[in-house]
Structure 1
Amino acid sequence: GEGFRAGDVISMDLSGLTSDDAKRMIDFASGLTFGLQGTIERIGGKVFLLTPKGVEVAASVRSSLIS
């Protein structure tokens, strides 16, 4: 949460987590992004991107995160 609050883009790969733990992480990340007016989106499989308000991530960067 600290990095996101500081304006960092966060990539979360939840593929190594159990379904319950992954759900908890998504719930936390959703609350964090909502509270700080950012966005959360699935960019592939179980990989999610948390983007602070006013920040855009280039398509080339997005694709490198899921490969």
Structure 2
Amino acid sequence: MDNDLVLKNRLKAARAEKNISQSELANMTGVSRQTISSIETGQFNPTAKLALLICIALNKKFEDLFYFE
């Protein structure tokens, strides 16, 4: 696999679709609002566990939220 790939996400759009704030998603997944913000802006890649918790919270499949660019 190409090491230059960057993990991107559609987290902000998925949150907006469900009308969930960063703080609400943070509470649902056990992290800080800043962590959610950092994931959305691409400054931080979530662990596999956190990514799956986010998928469950937003009722989305992993591939619906996260992708390589």
Settle same-fold status: TM greater than 0.5. Answer: no
Query: Which one has a larger percent helix, Structure 1 or Structure 2?
Result: 2
Q: TM-score range by the shorter chain?
A: under 0.3
Task: Give TM-score, length-normalised by structure 1.
Answer: 0.27
TM value normalised by structure 2: 0.26
Higher strand share: 1
